[in-house]
Amino acid sequence: MKQKTINSQLTNYKTYLHYRKNMLRLATNVLNIKNVPKFIDLAYVNKILLQNGSIVWFYDDVLDKLMALPYVNLAGLDVYYRPYRVQAIGANGATYNLNPGEFVIMYDNTLREPLMPDIVNTAERLAMCRRICDINIVQQKTPRVWQVPKGMEKSFKDAINEIDAMQDLIVGYDGLGLENVNLCLQPAPFVADKIEEYRVKLWSEFLSEIGISSVSYQKKERLISDEVTYSLGGTVCFRQDRFTPRQDAIEEINEKFKDILTKPLEVEFYDGLPTTLREVESEVMGNDIQQLSVLSNNTETKQNATGAI
């Protein structure tokens, strides 16, 4: 029993790690910085932005390279709660003390807080949903707790094994004494489908929070263009929440280190929609706006005509 409990706990943890890994892969690849010098590890930069909420960009005159590293605050904060002097820390233990005007801080979002706690929280909930579904499905099997006459345990165990294996069972009434058999554990109700629906909603919320378009809920009829547009409203806001701080930092980096960069840095995002779908949506939305404009003009013309009469 102890070994079974340990295996179950390991499975729970592995399920959580599975979701967290996939969520981190998505969150770190939604936004991309182009034209970054080869020396900078962009994957490391994205990871630090998620974990710490910010990263510092500066020029190292010894290596003669642009750097992007995590940092700690060395002095006080200004009136807008921004670090005045910082110390950048490399993965190898190297430190760089930076004074005002020597660095640019890039934030992951406008709140300037790391997303890692939110990802961990959602990963735990998703893993819990998945494990509940697994356990609930297993519990749909034949109940395992029976009350049987003493001395007949092995016979009943063999009989249940044959039933589980979908084998025909011939029972001798006097031999097994079925009149004395009692079922002590009823099968659990099947709720895996409802839990799975809840898990899909959690996953859709996570995608929206990191800026990936997702319309995951099911409907029997097709979604109209307005429903698609409205459902993406939150996604667009979350996307801009992460895109804007990067864009602001990149503009400052391009200006401050323009003599070092061979090409200006650029930031781009992946919206989760195929190009063809974006074109169709743009065309549909354009047609809708045009139709609304025509309808408005016709209504205004009729009102003017009515007033003239």
Percent of the chain with pLDDT over 90: 47
Highest mean pLDDT pick, 130-144, 178-192, 253-267 = 253-267
For 228-287, the pLDDT digits (tens) are 555 566 777 888 899 999 999 999 999 999 999 999 999 988 755 544 444 544 544 454
Cβ atoms < 10 Å from Cβ of 269: 16
Mean pLDDT value across residues 154-172: 67
The phi, psi pair for 75, rounded to 5°, reads: -125, -165
What pTM, to 2 d.p., does this model score? Answer: 0.72
Mean pLDDT value across residues 166-190: 62
For 74-109, the pLDDT digits (tens) are 988 888 888 989 999 999 999 999 999 999 999 999
Q: How confident is the model at residue 46 (pLDDT cuts 50, 70, 90)?
A: very high
For 186-207, the pLDDT digits (tens) are 667 889 999 999 999 999 889 8
CA distance 213 to 236: 8
pLDDT surpasses 70 at 139: yes
- Best CA proximity match to 273, nearest among 231, 303, 218, 242: 231
pLDDT value of position 217:
47
- Best CA proximity match to 271, nearest among 259, 281, 258, 260: 281
Residues 204/119/27/82 CA torsion (nearest 10 deg): 130
CA distance 218 to 33: 35
Percent of the chain with pLDDT over 70: 69
The phi, psi pair for 162, rounded to 5°, reads: -70, -35
pLDDT value of position 289:
47
- Best CA proximity match to 107, nearest among 141, 71, 154, 134: 71
